Amino acid sequence: MNSSQDEVQAYTLRLELVDEPGELLRALRPISDNGGNLLSIFHERGNVTPRGHIPVEVDIEATPDRFEKIVDVLRDTNINVIQAGTERYSQSMTVVLSGHVVDTDLSDTLSQVQDTAKATVTDLSLAAPQGTHDISSARMRLAVEEGSVSETLAVVRSVAEDKGLSVIEPLVERGHL
């Protein structure tokens, strides 16, 4: 096996799931069982595809061989794999949103960032010391496609501005994080 086959890479799986209890778990099990590391899940429960299924985007890390095995097992177990491929999120950044983060619908904020930016939210931390109806802050760690940091920051700024939130941006040195 050559070194590129041993190297862990980030991949995105786009799935369509039947709207039944346990389907998300059934789709995630092959990832775990075959050595994939889950980075994020974007489960669009409120939306349906033209076939009446629920769209789900799953970002994982795996070696190329493990990824191929995961895709094969998903298909073998009748999970509808719409797209399976590499989306290398080679950069990461952390931003903090401050203001009425909860009251302005944190879930919607995350969805807008992931739908518009070339990034995925890999970690989120929320602080609401005075309760969720007062000022709060959310730290978001984003995995960003190479060369898309500026575009992603523009999306975060725009979403924050629309919701009256402040953005504490990452320090950038020579265009890199």
- Structure token digits, residue 60: 């994982």
- Structure token digits, residue 39: 């980075």
User: Can you give the pLDDT of all 177 residues of the chain as single tens digits?
Assistant: 445 667 888 888 988 898 889 999 999 999 999 999 998 898 877 777 767 788 898 999 999 999 999 999 999 999 988 878 755 566 778 899 999 999 899 888 988 887 777 777 777 888 988 887 889 999 988 877 778 888 999 999 999 999 999 999 875 444 444
- Strand 54-62 versus strand 91-99 pairing type: unpaired
Closest C-alpha to 124, from 111, 26, 115, 134: 111
Domain ranges in the chain are 3-86, 91-168
For domain 91-168, the CATH superfamily is: LOR/SDH bifunctional enzyme, conserved domain (3.30.70.2690)
In angstroms, rounded to a whole number, what is the distance separating the alpha carbons of residues 68 and 65?
5
Instruction: Look at residue 11 and give its three-state secondary structure.
Output: strand
Residue 104: how many other CB atoms lie within 10 Å: 17
Instruction: Indicate the pTM of the whole model.
Output: 0.54
Residue 121 pairs with which residues in a beta bridge?
Answer: 142
Instruction: Look at residue 76 and give its three-state secondary structure.
Output: helix
For domain 3-86, the CATH superfamily is: ACT domain (3.30.70.260)
- Structure token digits, residue 56: 């789900």
